[in-house]
Structures are given as structure tokens and as C-alpha cells.
Amino acid sequence: MWYNQTKQETTKYSCTVYTFLHLILLDFGVRIPDDMIIKFVYYLEKIWVLVLNKWASFSIIYPAMVKYVNWKYWVKLEVKTSSISAWLDDISAWSLWIKKLTTQGQKLWTSDWVFTKEDVDKSLTYKNAYGHNHWVKKGNKSDKWIIFDSWNGVNYECDLETLKYWVTKNLYFDTSRAIVAKDEFTKRLQKALIFKAKKKWDTLTIEEFNQVKYDIS
């Protein structure tokens, strides 16, 4: 079900795109096929909001991705912004901007599938770090949040206090983003999509998305 950005060479460094698509998958129940992802990446490169292998401003690229989806699929989404230190609601999936990701750090976090404060401290000692985008969502356990990384398609748990600790240690930026429905039609569409996805016990295809949208119109 999950995306793995290393699957395709042409989109290997498009972590922000894959995080965005995961937010859509989690909160709207729709999965985009690989060939459409490539077209999406090409579009973002064409309008110069995404330059592969280069740093990208999330304050620019997220609105650009929302604008494209709204235009292509006739919906009205918007970017909701919050901060880790203040509050993240436990309904939405949230994008996270890590400042210092390393291969050693990812291996450390996935060794026992739990990301602790001690892991944060150790991660900061590793060299050759780079910026990266992945997502977090409240899990079924009362105090646990699930982090998923489209780089290698791995996930691990942490608690909210650890999330806040990241920020104080300068491992993560404080700002986080979610994708939400902006108008009443898109809110109804979201509920219908999630209902169908749960009934199906799987994500929906683009064809199923179009059918649900047609049915409620």
C-alpha cells in the first residue's frame, strides 16, 4: 500500500512529493499510480518549485502541489499548518521536515522500530546529514505516533514528547503541514472516499475516486 520513493530512479529524490501523496492516501484513501507520479514530478520541475537533488521550500512546494491536484481533479484542498511544539491534531497525517537525516540514523531508529530521545541524541553525532521530508500520524495506541519514511519504505513509533524533543535539539523544523478539504463538497467527498476504502479494506484507485466523485455530485 505504501509508496517507496527509491522504486523509480526518476523520482528517487522526490521525498516531498511522496510525503504529500502519503497524506492524500492516509486522509482521503486514494493511491496514485507510479506513472502519474512521474508526470506529477515533471510538472513540479517544469514550474521550478522542485529541483531534484536540491533543497526545496515546503512553503512553496506544498501550495503548488495542492494547486495542481485541485486543478486536475476538480476538488478544493488546502494546506493546514501547525507546529510540533504547540499541537498536532490526532486526526490528520502531518508532514515532517527533518534537518539532519543520515543512513546510520535511519538504521538506528528502525533497529527496534521505536524512536526515543536517546536515538535523537545519537543521531546528531552522525556526519553527512541531509534534509528530508516524511510524515507522522497518531497510531491506535494511546500515546504512540507512527512515522513513515518513503525512503526505503520504513516506519517506526515515537511519543509526542519525543516529537517535541526533536525540535528542541534542532533535529527537526517545528512547522508541520497537513492536507485538508477546503469546501463542503470536498469534505463530503473525503467522507465518501474513506467509507469506500474502509469497506474495501484497501486504498482506492483513480478510477474509483472518479466514480465516487461522480456518485455524490
Q: What is the pLDDT of residues 83-105, one digit of tens each?
A: 999 888 989 999 998 888 887 88
Examine the pLDDT at 3 and tell me if it is beyond 90: no
pLDDT at position 54 is 54
pLDDT at position 110 is 75
Q: Span 6-31, mean pLDDT?
A: 87
214 pLDDT tier (thresholds 50, 70, 90) = very high
Q: Span 99-126, mean pLDDT?
A: 84
As given in the structure block, the three cell numbers for residue 22 are: 502519503
To which CATH superfamily is domain 5-189 assigned?
A: Cysteine proteinases (3.90.70.10)
Examine the pLDDT at 48 and tell me if it is beyond 90: no
pLDDT at position 52 is 53
pLDDT at position 40 is 84
Q: Span 24-38, mean pLDDT?
A: 91
Domain range list for the chain: 5-189
pLDDT at position 140 is 78
**CA 5-155-134 angle, 5° bins:** 50
156's enclosing H/E stretch is: strand 154-159
| Calpha distance 85→177 (Å, rounded) | 13
